[in-house]
Amino acid sequence: QPDRLLQSAEQTMMLAKQKGRDHFQFYVASIDQEIRDRKQLENDLSKALSLNQLHLVYQPQINLETKRVIGAEALLRWEHPVRGLVPPDYFIPVAENNGSIVEIGQWVLEQACLQAKLWADKGLPLRIAVNLSAVQLRQSTIVDDILGTLKRHDIPAGRLELEVTETSFMTNLSDAVAKLHTLNRAGISLAVDDFGTGYSSLTYLKKMPVQHLKIDKQFIRDLLVNEEDTRITNTIIDLGRSLNLTVVAEGVETAEQEYYLTQRGCKLAQGYFFSKPLRPADFETFVQGFHEKIVENNT
Ligand code: C2E
Ligand code: CA
Ligand code: CA
C-alpha cells in the first residue's frame, strides 16, 4: 500500500517540522494518535476566539532603581473546556503553523489596548508589552493594523511596546527593519525578546531600532549558581549599556537575583519574585500593595 506509506511518511515529516528544526521522527502507530490530537487542537483553537476561551494576563515590570511598576507584559491564556489551561508554548506554535496567529495576535493587541486605556483612565498610565509573532511581522498590513488599533483605542504610541525575537527578523531582514522602523518612528518601543538564546548578532542589533533587550529567563534561573549563566547575564547588561539599550531581566524568582541584577545595573525586571502574570483586577491590587510597601519601607 504505497499510498498509505506515503501518507504516513508525510505526516511523520510534518510532525518533525512542527517540533522545530533539527528534529527527526520515527513513524510509529502512536503518531497517528498524535496527529489526530494535533488536528483536534487546531480545530478547537480555531473556535477559541469566538467561544471566548482566550484571555490575557499581565505580568508587572519593575524598575529596579525606583522599585515602581512601570508596565506590564500581556501574556495569552487559553482555557480549553476539556483540557483545561493549555500553555501558550504549546498552542502558539500551532497557531503560527496554520496562520491563525494573525487573527489571534490582532485580538491580543485589541485587548491590551482596551486594558491600557482602562488603566490610564484610572490613573495607572502603564506601558503594555505585547508579544509579536514572526508570522504577524511578515504580514504586509501589520504596520497599519497596529497603528490603526492604537488610534481606534486612543492610546499614545509610547504606551505600547512590542516584543520580537531575533529569529523573526532573520527571514526577511530588510522588510522587518523597514516595518519596525515605521512602528518605532510612530513612537512604539521595541524589545528584543529571549535575547541570548538565538543568534544575538550585533549586526541585527545595530540595524534594528530597538530600545530594550530582554535577558531570557533561562540565564536568570541559574544566575549566581552557574558561572556561565552569570557571565552571559553580565555580558548582556554591559552590551545594553554600551549600545544605550535598556536591559530587562525576565524570570526573576529570588531576592538574591533581584539584588545582583540591581547592583549590576540592570534597569527593569519581571518574574515570580515580584508577581506571576495576573488578571487585570488582581494586577491593580498588586500595584497598590507593591507601591504602599515601598512607601512604608522608606519611612
Ligand atoms: P515569553 O515572551 O518569553 O514570556 C515569558 C514567560 O515566562 C511567560 O510564560 C511567563 O509567564 C513566564 N515567567 C514569568 N516570570 C517567570 C518566573 O519568574 N519564572 C518562570 N519559570 N517563568 C516565568 P507563558 O505565559 O507561559 O508564555 C510562554 C511564551 O508564549 C511566551 O514566552 C511567548 O513567547 C509566548 N506568548 C505568550 N503570549 C503570547 C502572545 O500574546 N502572542 C505571542 N505571539 N506569543 C505569546
Ligand atoms: Ca515576551
Ligand atoms: Ca523568554
- State the pLDDT confidence band at 206, using cuts at 50, 70 and 90: confident
Task: Tell me the average pLDDT across 239-259.
Answer: 96
Decide if pLDDT at 17 tops 70.
Answer: no
Decide if pLDDT at 159 tops 80.
Answer: yes
| Residue 196, ligand 1, Cβ within 6 A | no
Structural domain boundaries of the chain?
A: 2-42, 53-298
Task: Provide the pLDDT for residue 198.
Answer: 79
- State the pLDDT confidence band at 1, using cuts at 50, 70 and 90: low
Q: How far is the CA of 10 from the centre of ligand 3 (A)?
A: 32
- State the pLDDT confidence band at 298, using cuts at 50, 70 and 90: low
Task: Provide the pLDDT for residue 204.
Answer: 81
- State the pLDDT confidence band at 20, using cuts at 50, 70 and 90: low
Task: Tell me the average pLDDT across 192-210.
Answer: 85
Task: Provide the pLDDT for residue 213.
Answer: 96
Average pLDDT, the chain: 91
Task: Provide the pLDDT for residue 259.
Answer: 98
Task: Tell me the average pLDDT across 127-134.
Answer: 97
Which residue owns the Cα nearest ligand 1 atom 32? 89
Task: Tell me the average pLDDT across 54-63.
Answer: 98
Q: How far is the CA of 4 from the centre of ligand 2 (A)?
A: 41
Instruction: Please give the model's pTM, rounded to 2 decimal places.
Output: 0.90
Ligand nearest the Cα of residue 88 is 1
Which of 103, 197, 250, 279 is the best mutation target for the ligand 1 pocket, counting ligand atoms within 8 Å of the beta carbon and taking the most? 250
| Residue 89, ligand 1, Cβ within 6 A | yes
Of the given ranges (4-8, 175-179, 204-208, 255-259), which has the lowest mean pLDDT? 4-8
Task: Tell me the average pLDDT across 142-169.
Answer: 95
Decide if pLDDT at 86 tops 90.
Answer: yes
| Residue 258, ligand 1, Cβ within 6 A | no
Q: How far is the CA of 248 from the centre of ligand 1 (A)?
A: 14
Task: Provide the pLDDT for residue 28.
Answer: 66
Decide if pLDDT at 4 tops 90.
Answer: no
**DSSP labels, the chain:** -HHHHHHHHHHHHHHHHHT-TT------HHHHHHHHHHHHHHHHHHHHTTTT-EEEEEEEEEETTTTEEEEEEEEEEEEETTTEEEPHHHHHHHHHHHSTHHHHHHHHHHHHHHHHHHHHHTT---EEEEE--HHHHTSTTHHHHHHHHHHHHT--GGGEEEEEEHHHHHTTHHHHHHHHHHHHHTT-EEEEEEETSS---HHHHHHS---EEEE-HHHHHTTTTSHHHHHHHHHHHHHHHHHT-EEEEE---SHHHHHHHHHTT--EEESTTT---B-HHHHHHHHHHHHHHHHHHH-
Task: Provide the pLDDT for residue 62.
Answer: 98
Q: How far is the CA of 290 from the centre of ligand 2 (A)?
A: 22
Task: Provide the pLDDT for residue 169.
Answer: 77
Decide if pLDDT at 15 tops 90.
Answer: no
Task: Provide the pLDDT for residue 149.
Answer: 98
Decide if pLDDT at 16 tops 90.
Answer: no
Q: How far is the CA of 40 from the centre of ligand 2 (A)?
A: 27
Ligand nearest the Cα of residue 129 is 2
Decide if pLDDT at 50 tops 80.
Answer: yes
- State the pLDDT confidence band at 207, using cuts at 50, 70 and 90: confident
Ligand nearest the Cα of residue 198 is 3
Which of 62, 73, 75 is the best mutation target for the ligand 1 pocket, counting ligand atoms within 8 Å of the beta carbon and taking the most? 75
Task: Tell me the average pLDDT across 32-38.
Answer: 84
| CATH number belonging to domain 53-298 | 3.20.20.450
Using the atom order of ligand 1, give the atom closest to the CA of residue 272. Answer: 18
